[in-house]
Amino acid sequence: MIRRHLLVAVTALTISAGVALPMATLAVPRPAPAQEPHPVIREVMEKIESARTDLVKYADRDFKGHRAKAVAHLNQAMEELKLALEADKH
């Protein structure tokens, strides 16, 4: 009689563990997929590059030196953003 109760208890425990363990592993939070660090800065860098290319290739004149100044400022902005990304690594 005691063996039968013991057998029932062990069986019930085994079945419970078989059901509970998979559910417990599903409940463990998964790490988020790796994302690009600083997506806003990367996007701005792409836009600056595009604007610089447009000014250099497609502007029909220099506008009394203001186009060249704008390109220089865009170059400076790109350098600052590169330094910002580099500073975040340390």
**What is the rounded distance in angstroms from the CA atom of residue 49 to the CA atom of residue 67?**
15
Q: Mean pLDDT throughout 61-67?
A: 92
Q: Tell me, what DSSP letter sits at residue 60?
A: S
- How far does the chain reach from its first CA to its final CA, in angstroms? 69
pTM listed for this prediction:
0.60
Give the list of residues 6+ apart from residue 48 with CB closer than 8 angstroms, or none.
74, 77, 78, 81
Report pLDDT digits (tens) over 16-55. 666 666 665 666 677 767 788 899 999 999 999 999 999 9
Name residues whose C-beta falls within 8 Å of residue 24's C-beta, 6 or more positions apart in sequence.
none
pLDDT at position 36 = 80
Segment 4-21 mean pLDDT: 63
